[in-house]
Amino acid sequence: MSSSASTVLDFQTASLREINQTLHDETTGSFTIVNPRGAHAVAAGIDSDIQVEIDGPVGYYCAGMHQRGSVVVKGNASTGLAENMMSGTVRITGNATMSAGATACGGLLVIEGNAGSRCGISMKGADIVVGGTVGHMSAFMAQSGNLVVLGDTDSDLGDSIYEARLFIRGDVASLGADCIEKEMREEHLVLLTELLSKAGMAAEPRDFKRFGSGRKLYNFHVDDIDAEVARRTEA
């Protein structure tokens, strides 16, 4: 086989388990998955430097726990795209529904279309770049990493956020608890330029606003100690 040829894995002739096992067994090469028809857990848990392209829409948890290599989805994805990814890249040409990039610890997730609610919920270090819009409660309790949104966001962006950085070009419907707009400093413009370049998105970094934690909520507020001690003493 020449190095440019891609191995075709077809859901009409192989089961999900067989297809994922093939992807887990191989350590090099490229693979094209056809006829996924919304199947769940497609290309989950890839742990070697292979290239996977999925032609068509996928269901839940596509490329979940992604560790190495790249996955490209040509279509839409349902709940939990690239949830808990650790490194490597995942790209989708269509839209992703709920909880894309949930708890993702590292790597790059690119959503060329729109993402649904809770995009980047509890993200822990991944970079997520969304070409379109994101739904409500995106970056809920996001701990670290970067969420870049070229379009608008729905309500309650960054509710109870820790130290993730949010870069939004469009309108923000509303901010969640303790999420505030922050100054876009030179270091952030450099970071954003790099993220947009990695994602292959053409946008002017100066058009974005930065949001992050007001740090009033995620840490136990020292002023509250006296009140708490008094309450317990009375009790």
Partner 1 sequence: MCGIVGLFLKTETYRPELGHFTAMMLHEMRSRGPDSAGFAVYDEGTPHHVRITMLAEDRVVDWAATAADLEGFLGAAVKVREIHDHAVFETAGDGRMARQWIIDHVDGVEVMSFGSQIELYKSVGDPALVAERFDLASRSGTHAIAHSRMATESAITTSGSHPFATGANTCLIHNGSLSNHNQLRLRLQQHGETFQTENDSEVAAGYLSWRLREGDTIEEALERALVDLDGFYTLAIGIESGFAILRDPIACKPAVVAETDDWVAMSSEYRAIAQLPGVGDAEIWEPDPATVYTWSLT
Cα–Cα distance, 38 to 56 (Å, whole number)? 8
Cα–Cα distance, 32 to 71 (Å, whole number)? 10
- By CB under 8 A, what part of segment 111-130 binds partner 1? 116-117
- Per CB under 8 A, the list member of 18, 27, 37, 197 interacting with partner 1 is 37
Closest by CA to 77, choosing from 92, 88, 87, 90, is: 92
Kindly state whether residue 95 participates in binding partner 1, applying the rule CB under 8 A.
yes
Cα–Cα distance, 11 to 13 (Å, whole number)? 5
Q: Which two tokens stand for residue 97?
A: 């529904």
Kindly state whether residue 64 participates in binding partner 1, applying the rule CB under 8 A.
no
Alpha helices (runs of H) in the chain, residue ranges in sequence order: 16-25, 186-199, 224-234
Q: Which two tokens stand for residue 41?
A: 């857990």
Cα–Cα distance, 224 to 235 (Å, whole number)? 17
Part of the chain binding partner 1 (CB under 8 A), chosen from 22-30, 133-141, 159-167, 180-188 = 133-141
Kindly state whether residue 107 participates in binding partner 1, applying the rule CB under 8 A.
no
Kindly state whether residue 131 participates in binding partner 1, applying the rule CB under 8 A.
no
Cα–Cα distance, 84 to 107 (Å, whole number)? 10
Q: How far is the CB of 37 from partner 1 (least distance, A)?
A: 4
Kindly state whether residue 138 participates in binding partner 1, applying the rule CB under 8 A.
no
Part of the chain binding partner 1 (CB under 8 A), chosen from 61-69, 103-111, 135-143, 202-210 = 135-143
Part of the chain binding partner 1 (CB under 8 A), chosen from 85-93, 132-140, 200-208, 222-230 = 132-140
How many chain residues touch partner 1 (CB under 8 A)? 17
Q: Which two tokens stand for residue 204?
A: 């002017």
Q: Which is nearer to partner 1, 50 or 130 (CB)?
A: 130
Q: How far is the CB of 58 from partner 1 (least distance, A)?
A: 8
Kindly state whether residue 213 participates in binding partner 1, applying the rule CB under 8 A.
no
